[in-house]
Amino acid sequence: MRNAIQVLCFGFATLLSPAFLSGTANAQSPEQFYQGKTIDLEIGYSAGGGYDLYARLLARHIGRHIPGHPGVAPKNMVGSGSLSLANWLYAAAPSDGTVLGAMSRGSAFDPLLGKIGAAFDATKFNWIGSMNDEVAVCVALPSAGITKFEDLFTHELAVGATGVGDDSYQFPAMLNSLMGTKFKIINGFGGGEKITMALDRGDVQGRCGWSWSSLRTTRPDWVRDKKIVLLVQMSLSKHPDLPNVPFILDLAQTPEQRQILTLVFARNVMGRPFAVSPEVPADRVAALREAFAETMKDKDFLADAAQGKFEINPVGGERLQALVEEAYRTPPAIATKAASVMR
């Protein structure tokens, strides 16, 4: 009898052990796992900017397409152009699929480009998808006296930046070092919307690395009413809205410059990327990727996006994963040079 009781106690203890409970959770289907749960959608930027608005748009709709229909709660985790979120998502966030991160399009390339403080391997994130294949622009106020990109070689333009890890800093810094432009970078704004507000007040004269989709969504009248001058567009391909705005790859003066620009602006294909931690079970990653793809086609989502003037040009998670892995095969000499001109 004593032996029987000991066996029963051992078996009960085993059932309650963390290893057994973890294994049981992993054995659940995605629908069983997500039933009754809430996914935290952590946004690496402050409220009101482009990344925040896109992420909250996704949060309103993706839950319907995830098996088990969990709630989705958007939150802001601000710090170093979303570098704080990337580090946390990699090393400290729950790895069960209940946390989705909305990071900078440049986050995946930070370790490759030697970004100080980037303590993660971007190829190990599980990339879920991007809402947009993005194009960034540099703009100036008409009062700055700069009417075309070439003027930047002889005239200084004060632009706002959120942090050294963000496009708003790295793009003008790179153009200064690589091509000889004269951006004066004023760092420390607490988010993209804060830069836009400073531009509106005239505290800065321009902004560089501004997503065209964000500009079009948050300040459509600025383009319509010519309140800003569009100086250059930056990505791996031109945007159909901007046929007459100079394209950065066309301005490359040497083959090496073109290679560096291609590496740097590969991030723009990442657009508005979402990822989960490296250890999330594969079936949940697949379910989230499928849910993302289905959301991008959802008529209610598209109607919501159209009402808010959001550009939706999605990129699937598998393509993002391949893009990141391809970037990390860049010749070391080119990656090193790219890193040096972005500081």
Per-residue pLDDT of 90-131, as tens digits, reads: 999 999 999 999 999 889 999 999 888 999 999 999 999 999
pLDDT mean over 54-71: 98
Is the pLDDT score of 8 beyond 80? Answer: no
Q: Residue 81: pLDDT band by 50, 70, 90 thresholds?
A: confident
Give which of 108, 64, 127 is closest to 286, Cα–Cα: 127
Q: Residue 343: pLDDT band by 50, 70, 90 thresholds?
A: confident
CA distances in angstroms from 63 to 54, 127, 293, 319, listed in the order given: 15, 17, 12, 22
DSSP-assigned letter for residue 247: B
What integer pLDDT is reported at residue 25 of this predicted model? 52
| DSSP H helices in 106-166 | none
Structure tokens at 324: 């990141």
What integer pLDDT is reported at residue 26 of this predicted model? 60
Between β-strands 136-140 and 206-211, what pairing exists: parallel, antiparallel or unpaired? antiparallel
Give which of 226, 167, 141, 175 is closest to 49, Cα–Cα: 167
The CATH 3.40.190.10 portion of the chain extends over 136-267
Class of domain 136-267: alpha beta
- What is the distance between the alpha carbons of residues 58 and 179, in angstroms, rounded to a whole number? 37
Fold of the CATH domain 6-133+271-331? D-Maltodextrin-Binding Protein; domain 2 (3.40.190)
Provide the sign of the torsion angle of the four alpha carbons 69, 133, 80, 304, taken in this order: negative
Is the pLDDT score of 172 beyond 90? Answer: yes
Torsion of Cα atoms, 289 then 294 then 296 then 301, to 10°: -130
Paired with 139 in beta bridges are 207, 230
Specify the higher pLDDT residue, 192 or 6: 192
What integer pLDDT is reported at residue 316 of this predicted model? 97
What percentage of the chain reaches a pLDDT higher than 70? 92
The CATH 3.40.190.150 portion of the chain extends over 6-133+271-331
Query: What letters, b where the CB count within 10 A reaches 16 and e where it falls short, cover 88-118?
Result: bbbeebebbbbbbbbbbbbbbbbbbbebeeb
pLDDT tens, residue by residue, 283-330 = 999 999 999 999 999 999 999 999 998 999 999 999 999 999 999 999
Give yes or no for a contact between 85 and 54, defined as CB atoms under 8 angstroms apart: no
Give which of 129, 106, 125, 45 is closest to 265, Cα–Cα: 106
